[in-house]
Structure 1
C-alpha cells in the first residue's frame, strides 16, 4: 500500500502501522508517497477488512493506493 500522510507525521504513522499484525513491512519514503506498507491476508475479504478498519482509520493519512499482489 502506498500512503500519503500529513507533513511531518511519517514517523508517527510508521509506528502505528508497525503495530498492526498484518503489516509485514513498512518503509518511510521520499517523493509522491510517504510510506510503503506491505501487509498480508488469507482472503480478499480479510484484505478489505484490514484496509477499511485498521489502516484507513489511522489519523493523519491523506490518501492510500492499494497494490494487490497474488502469489
Structure 2
C-alpha cells in the first residue's frame, strides 16, 4: 500500500467546495481544513505508488481552485 499526505493551498473561500470534491476521489481517505500556511490536508491510500501518483497528478492537482500542493509520501508505517 502507498500512502501520502497532500497539503493544498486553495483559492480564497474555496475550501468547502474542494472538501466535497476531494472526498469523492477514489483513494482519498481523509480531508481536513487547516489554519496556517496550507488550507487543506488530504490523506491518500492507494494500492501502489503508480496509482498514488495518478490520483495526485490527474485528480487532485487538476481541480479548479487548487493553487498549489505539497506531497509528503510515507516511507515507513509503524
TM-score scaled by structure 2?
0.86
Q: How many residues align?
A: 71
In 1, Cα distance between equivalents of 2:14 and 2:52:
25
Name structure 2 gaps, 5 residues minimum. 1-5
Name structure 1 gaps, 5 residues minimum. none
In 2, Cα distance between equivalents of 1:19 and 1:3:
16
| Mapping 1:15-26, distance limit 5 Å | 15-26=20-31
Instruction: Provide the aligned C-alpha RMSD in A.
Output: 0.8
Q: CA deviation at 1:2?
A: 0.2
| Mapping 1:1-71, distance limit 5 Å | 1-70=6-75, 71=77
Runs of 4+ aligned residues of structure 1 deviating over 6 Å after TM superposition are none
Q: Which residue of 1 aligns with 2:3?
A: none
SS at match of 2:73: coil
Structure having the higher strand fraction is 2
In 1, Cα distance between equivalents of 2:49 and 2:27:
13
TM-score scaled by structure 1?
0.94
